[in-house]
Amino acid sequence: MWCAAVSGSAAAQAAQPAQPARGGNLNVLSITAINSLNPAIQSGVATGVPAAQLFASLLQADARWQFKPYLADSWSAAPDGLSYTFKLNPEARFHDGKPVTSADVAFSAEAVRANHPFGPAMLAALDKVETPDPHTAVFRLKQPDPALLLALSTPSLMPILPKHVYGDGPIRQNPHNNAPIGSGPFRFGEYKPGEYLVLERFDGFFRKGRPYLDKITYNIVPDRAAAALAMQRGDIQYVAYAPFRIADLDRLAADPKLVVGKAGYEGVGALNWLAFNVRQGPLANLKVRQAIAYAIDRDFITQKLQRGRSQPALGPIHPSSPLYDKTLNPYKLDLARANQLLDEAGFARKADGMRFALRLDFLPGAPDTSQLVAEYLRPQLAKVGVQVQLRPSPDFPTWSQRIANWDFDMTTDAVFNWGDPVIGVARTYMSSNIKKGVIWSNTQGYANAEVDKLLAQGAVETDPARRKAIYDRFQQIVNTELPVAWLNTTPYSTVASKQLRGLPDGIWGVFAPFDEVYWAK
């Protein structure tokens, strides 16, 4: 259980009785508005957290990155690595009572590939899904795919959708995107945009006797101080990707009714960065981007602003990954070098000391990891003559629409590696993934033919040493060309009531089903 991963004392309190208690409601905090409840077309925490309860994936992943059955009872790989055969649980049903079949799996794979922000990269190796019978799905690959099973292990990446519901017309206009029908442990109850989402126990869930909870309510509380007080009062009992200020987290950790932990984020591998729109203006000039990178003090961000809870990030792959290149240029603070580069780029200081102005957006709902960093960057970049104009967004949908439609100069962001570069890294840098209107695609507009080639090679290479060499070269190129300036690892936390039991303990944390969660008596 997640509680067991927090501390020894939490593990003792989390010891399960012989029979988990059934019933009760769980109030979960959501700090931002929900754009869509269909994870096949929308990435992100606001969508992925409830979607993990509404939809099921073929597999699950435990804390050791090992795969376990979910909708698929079993699976096998061909000796040449070019096909995977999945045997579906014959008892699985969608929330409308229709059976889950291999046709739904095939439809879902194509829907994700066509509509998910990083579907094209994640499923690039897929040729087709064959359906020899209703309970057998065969993934035929054009080349080996070292990340396929990982992609199939969470509904946030690969939800199995009912073809009879989502296959009628354009999926992005489907009315069930915000009133979903899935096969997860909870079914859609009620959604009041900007206020709450209610999920109810699905009594037809194929894992008999589960879920234990009657209901999960996602409470949308944009006011972080009010949300923290609600957790202390017990009105809200769980939040992952906790959006609180660090001081609030310290206070919550001292509350004897709560547990604050860091487990469950291994799969996402989150990085904070400053993204550049490289299409036009000063940021189209490489020397300008490099100058900005040299003007940022990452040690100040990690040690002062985030109180040592994060570490500097040097490139597109998370430091915890075996593919991480430790030799990258760290862009240590060097204002003299930054000023030199800006002079060389042809942007001389004007009478007021400024060279040019850039608008800076920041991810809402993340005060210490996004907003505070943006506020720091304004006076910091002014030191080298870059006038920063902050543009806050009232909610996540507003911010995501601006960035997805390329209406930005720079933005802070928290972006996930999703366990493998094929899934969560390539999407940001592939020129084929420059898609207007799609958040967390290549919104920067970055294009490099060698990078495209390397990412394609890394996606199919199964030899660990050769794969590492491919991704090292990729990291070196983008570390030089800087479509984004990486800042730090993202210090996520989970806050939960000590009375909760059975919380997921795998690498995906809250992106896994809550069918085993129950209240201790």
Q: Do 146 and 281 share a structural domain? A: no
Alpha helices in 55-178 (DSSP H): 102-115, 119-122, 148-151, 163-166
225, two tokens: 């101080």
- Comparing C-alpha atoms, which of 508, 437, 516, 456 is closest to residue 124? 456
Question: How many alpha carbons lie under 13 Å from residue 232 in its C-beta half-sphere?
Answer: 15
Instruction: Please write the tens of the pLDDT for every residue from 93-121.
Output: 999 999 999 999 999 999 999 999 878 88
Q: Do 3 and 114 share a structural domain? A: no
Q: Do 220 and 309 share a structural domain? A: no
CATH of the domain at 165: 3.90.76.10
In single-letter form, the type of residue at position 430 comes to M
CA separation for the pair 497, 6 (Å, rounded):
13
DSSP calls for 23-43: --EEEEEE-S--S-S-TTT--
456, two tokens: 């394609």
pLDDT of residue 2: 31
Q: Do 469 and 328 share a structural domain? A: yes
- Among 171, 196, 228, where does a domain finish? 171
pLDDT of residue 18: 56
Residue 40 lies in a domain: no
Label residue 474 exposed, middle or buried (CB < 10 Å: 0-12, 13-18, 19+): buried
Residue for token pair 């490489």: 286
Q: Do 509 and 478 share a structural domain? A: no
Residue 37 lies in a domain: no
- Among 171, 205, 227, where does a domain finish? 171
Residue 73 lies in a domain: yes
Question: Could you say which DSSP state residue 432 is in?
Answer: G
pLDDT of residue 320: 84
Chain centroid to CA 261: 18
Q: Do 329 and 213 share a structural domain? A: no
217: number of Cβ within 10 Å:
17
33, two tokens: 């508005």
Q: CB–CB of 287/342 below 8 Å?
A: yes
In single-letter form, the type of residue at position 33 comes to A
Q: CB–CB of 433/442 below 8 Å?
A: yes
In single-letter form, the type of residue at position 226 comes to A
Q: Do 306 and 239 share a structural domain? A: no
Residue 49 lies in a domain: no
313: number of Cβ within 10 Å:
25
Q: Do 298 and 149 share a structural domain? A: no
CA separation for the pair 416, 424 (Å, rounded):
6
Parent domain of 503: 1-31+185-266+492-521
pLDDT of residue 39: 96
Residue 48 lies in a domain: no
Q: Do 443 and 340 share a structural domain? A: yes
CATH of the domain at 18: 3.40.190.10
pLDDT of residue 15: 45
Residue 519 lies in a domain: yes
Residue 38 lies in a domain: no
CATH of the domain at 336: 3.10.105.10
Q: Do 105 and 59 share a structural domain? A: yes
pLDDT of residue 120: 85
* β partners of residue 275: 411, 484
| Number of domains the chain contains | 3
pLDDT of residue 70: 98
In single-letter form, the type of residue at position 469 comes to A
Task: For the chain, state the CA radius of gyration.
Answer: 23
Residue 178 lies in a domain: no
Sheet holding 356-361, edge to edge: 386-391, 356-361, 410-416, 270-276, 484-489
Weakly modelled stretches of the chain, pLDDT under 50: 1-17
Q: Do 201 and 97 share a structural domain? A: no
- Among 171, 203, 229, where does a domain finish? 171
pLDDT of residue 367: 83
Q: Do 470 and 503 share a structural domain? A: no
With helix as H, strand as E and coil as C, how does 283-307 read? HHCHHHHHHHHHHCCHHHHHHHHCC
